[in-house]
Amino acid sequence: MTLGVSCTTFFTVLLLRSNILGWFLLTLGLAWSHVFCRAAEVEVAAVRFAPARPASNPSVPWLEATVGLNVVPPPDAPGRMVSRVRVQLWVGVESPVLTGSTARTEYYRAEVECLALPSGRSEVRFYFPPEWVKLDQLQGAPRYWAVELAIAGRAVPPSRAASAMALAEPAARRAFLVAALAGAPANDGWLQPQYFTPFAQEYPRSTVTFVRRESSLAPTARASP
């Protein structure tokens, strides 16, 4: 009789522990799936570099970088949109080698913040000015580039399409970003968001709304005493 009670108690405790473990694993799985879904709200689908000529002056070629984004808002997102999406483009260009000199890589960066992106496909564009195109003699995609995304300040894991082929390995991408972070400030302003260029009014159907803060960062002019 005592043995039967002990066995019953043992299996009851084992069943309870199994249920608790099952619920724990289920909760952990849901938590990880939630993180994964949030990370996939916005991802880079493709990046394209191509010459572009503004309608206001078609004789002058710029270099246009188009970052295509796939946007999948969570079911409970207001307006079925993802808000405060920051897009950073980093570019490394090997400068033309002159006689007797060694090759070097110049780094560039630019970023924008999108007010909100609807479900589906969105595009963000950056531009190198024609003077830069002539100096670096680049007509197509540079060898090194990478895109970083953030949603409301939270970094988004990069997709495969968020790096150049030369940076396909995570270690190569990290090394490039470290070098670009150190070298790009010297060339700030060369790579420009669309709204700073003659292309600001072009692509009206596919241009998103940007959060622009440059006016609030400008120094206040003071009258001479």
List pLDDT tens digits, range 144-189. Answer: 999 999 999 999 999 999 999 999 999 999 999 999 999 999 999 9
Do 33 and 96 belong together in one domain?
A: no
Judged by average pLDDT, the poorest of 62-71, 100-109, 144-153 is 100-109
Which of 41, 155, 169 has its CA nearest to residue 87?
Answer: 155
Residue 200 has pLDDT above 80, yes or no: yes
Q: Is residue 223 part of a domain?
A: no
H or E stretch at 138? none
Do 167 and 61 belong together in one domain?
A: yes
Average pLDDT over residues 48-53: 95
- The neighbour count for residue 91, using CB atoms within 10 Å, is 29
Burial status of residue 167 (CB atoms within 10 A of its CB: 0-12, 13-18, 19 or more): buried
Q: Count up the domains in the chain and report the number.
A: 2
Do 118 and 128 belong together in one domain?
A: yes
Q: Is residue 206 part of a domain?
A: yes
Which of 207, 194, 211 has its CA nearest to residue 128?
Answer: 194
Do 95 and 195 belong together in one domain?
A: yes
Q: Is residue 109 part of a domain?
A: yes
Average pLDDT over residues 110-131: 95
Residue 22 has pLDDT above 50, yes or no: no
Residue 116 has pLDDT above 90, yes or no: yes
Main-chain phi, psi angles of 65, to 5 degrees: -115, 115
Do 58 and 96 belong together in one domain?
A: yes
Q: Quick one: pLDDT at residue 100? A: 55
Query: From the CA atom positions of the chain, what is the Rg in Å?
Result: 25
Average pLDDT over residues 90-99: 78
pTM of the full structure: 0.76
Compute, in degrees rounded to 10, the torsion defined by CA atoms 61, 145, 199, 121.
Answer: 130
Domain holding 24, by residue range, is: 1-39
Q: Quick one: pLDDT at residue 104? A: 84
The pairing of strands 105-118 and 81-94 is: antiparallel
Helical ranges in 115-169 per DSSP H: 130-136
Which tokens hold the place of 181?
């972070």
Cβ contacts of 105 within 8 Å, gap of 6 or more: 92, 93, 94, 95, 144, 179, 183
